[in-house]
Amino acid sequence: MIKSRAAVAFAPNQPLQIVEVDVAPPKAGEVLVRIVASGVCHTDAYTLSGEDSEGVFPCILGHEGGGIVEAVGEGVTSLAVGDHVIPLYTAECRTCKFCTSGKTNLCQAVRATQGKGLMPDGTTRFSYQGEPIYHYMGCSTFSEYTVLPEISLAKIPQEAPLEKVCLLGCGVTTGIGAVLNTAKVTEGASVAIFGLGGIGLAAVIGAKMAKAGRIIAVDINPAKFAIAQELGATEFVNPRDYAKPIQEVIVEMTDGGVDYSFECVGNVQLMRAALECCHKGWGESTIIGVAGAGQEISTRPFQLVTGRVWRGSAFGGVKGRTELPNYVAKAQRGEIPLDTFITYTMGLDDINQAFDLMHEGKSIRTVIHF
Ligand code: NAD
Ligand code: AHE
Ligand code: ZN
């Protein structure tokens, strides 16, 4: 057992508590990682809110981290002590039906236990005062030390700054990947991006990489428009400036609708608007935002009958162990401006402030330094 400072979510809707937890050594096929930095993603807040049907408490949240391998369990071959890694909430075993399908990044090798806050053997490595603490999304990066399956770690070059490339563990990769891998936006296309947080702004970068012709950035917080413009957005729409539904506004702006849209908020009404602002015959809308348990999307089936396509994207369709090193390389070459996403950095003791800043719309990403 080792001691680790961690931010524990003891119950939904309560501030995280910084305590010293016990971390058991990695079992076979597992790796102990010392977390150097972790971003705070809206999904952490979503689970803390109690809306996540897979939320189990007490748990250690955090899934956007960067760290260094501290110890490896029996049989681990692809990683060694000292390797720099990014934890993956979407594992990549390379052998399951999903991994070998060539159709999805949604490896299922550890997904069932991960969704219950457990390691693949059905137990937890974290405890506090002798009671188990659950893992989160297979990562639990709000802890100085965490344990992950070997297949849930992407090895990255030592030169890459972990306090920046941690953002590739979720938000930035998700937004870019959704545009390039899931929707496969084409050169010259028109794109509407709903929600300009870490995910939406990364989707703006993806759209710019794809050489989209028009990139329409939509947010109810106009303070987000300046960054969106810096990253390549060409037009800016605040739904609160209009009396009519936002899909109608965008359809009028674009002579019938956009070629591609992305919902990066997690609001089911906005998901509908994002679909319905797509062009008849070919427009494609990708849902990235995560909606609360029990919520459902709706539209007239006629929207799909007349050629619009509704799809979704998890971690940008990216296979982490194989593809993340390339994202890191792009960031290292300045092609993915990670600094633009980092609004605040702070220590673990201040992590509740990071959640406040997110809810107040004052941060894109806060990075916690350990
Ligand atoms: P964020 O809180 O940083 O950003 C959300 C943005 O949406 C804010 O700028 C906010 O002003 C804007 N917004 C809120 N309501 C709006 C509305 N009605 N119309 C327009 N804009 C509105 O969040 P984030 O970290 O960027 O995450 C966004 C969503 O993506 C969350 O639901 C998160 O859970 C989800 N997510 C999904 C994946 C995935 O793999 N599918 C990965 C990461 C995050
Ligand atoms: N537990 C949630 C699932 C939420 C969800 O859809 N998560 C995204 C990643 S969000 C990262 O910030 C995802 O990858 N989903 C695919 C998967 O396998 O979970 C719920 O609502 O039940
Ligand atoms: Zn996330």
| Residue whose CA lies nearest to ligand 2 atom number 11 | 43
Per-residue pLDDT of 270-321, as tens digits, reads: 999 999 999 999 999 999 999 999 999 999 999 999 999 999 999 999 999 9
Query: Does ligand 1 have an atom closer than 6 angstroms to the CB of 164?
Result: no
Q: How far apart are CA 338 and CA 234, in angstroms?
A: 20
CB 66 within 8 A of CB 38: yes
Per-residue pLDDT of 74-130, as tens digits, reads: 999 999 999 999 999 999 999 999 999 999 999 999 999 999 999 999 999 999 999
pLDDT range class, residue 239, cuts 50, 70, 90: very high
pLDDT range class, residue 365, cuts 50, 70, 90: very high
- For residue 339, which phi and psi values (nearest 5 degrees)? -55, -35
Average pLDDT, the chain: 98
Give the residue from 253, 255, 256 showing the smallest Cα distance to 234. Answer: 253
CB 144 within 8 A of CB 6: yes
Ligand 2: list residues with CB < 6 Å. 41, 43, 52-54, 90, 106, 111, 170, 290, 314-315
- For residue 367, which phi and psi values (nearest 5 degrees)? -105, 125
| Residue whose CA lies nearest to ligand 2 atom number 4 | 290
**265 CA distance to ligand 2 middle (Å):** 13
DSSP states along 104-159: -S---TTHHHHTTT--TTS--SEEETTEEEB-STTT--SBSEEEEEGGGEEEE-TT
**95 CA distance to ligand 1 middle (Å):** 32
Query: Does ligand 1 have an atom closer than 6 angstroms to the CB of 177?
Result: no
| Residue whose CA lies nearest to ligand 2 atom number 12 | 43
> Among all residues, which ones are annotated catalytic?
41-43, 63-64, 93, 96, 99, 107, 111, 170, 365
**43 CA distance to ligand 1 middle (Å):** 9
Ligand 1 atom, smallest distance to 269 CA: 18
Ligand 2 atom, smallest distance to 111 CA: 18
**45 CA distance to ligand 3 middle (Å):** 10
At 44 the pLDDT is 98
| Residue whose CA lies nearest to ligand 1 atom number 34 | 43
Query: Does ligand 1 have an atom closer than 6 angstroms to the CB of 267?
Result: yes
Per-residue pLDDT of 5-31, as tens digits, reads: 999 999 999 999 999 999 999 999 999
Ligand 2 atom, smallest distance to 51 CA: 21
Per-residue pLDDT of 41-75, as tens digits, reads: 999 999 999 999 999 999 999 999 999 999 999 99
Query: Does ligand 1 have an atom closer than 6 angstroms to the CB of 189?
Result: no
Which ligand sits closest to the CA of 175? 1
What is the share, in percent, of the chain residues with pLDDT greater than 90? Answer: 100
Q: What is the pTM of this model?
A: 0.98
Ligand 2 atom, smallest distance to 55 CA: 1
Cα–Cα distances in angstroms (integers) from residue 306 to residues 162, 273, 300, 301, 302, in the given order = 46, 16, 10, 9, 6
Which sign does the torsion angle of CA 136, 141, 145, 149 carry? positive
Ligand 2 atom, smallest distance to 89 CA: 14
Q: How far apart are CA 232 and CA 335, in angstroms?
A: 13
Query: Does ligand 1 have an atom closer than 6 angstroms to the CB of 292?
Result: no
At 133 the pLDDT is 98
Lay out the sheet containing 131-133: strands in order across.
Answer: 2-8, 17-23, 126-128, 131-133
3-class DSSP state for residue 285? strand
Which ligand sits closest to the CA of 141? 3
Which ligand sits closest to the CA of 218? 1
Domains for the chain: give ranges and CATH numbers. 2-169+337-369 (3.90.180.10), 174-313 (3.40.50.720)
| Residue whose CA lies nearest to ligand 1 atom number 3 | 197
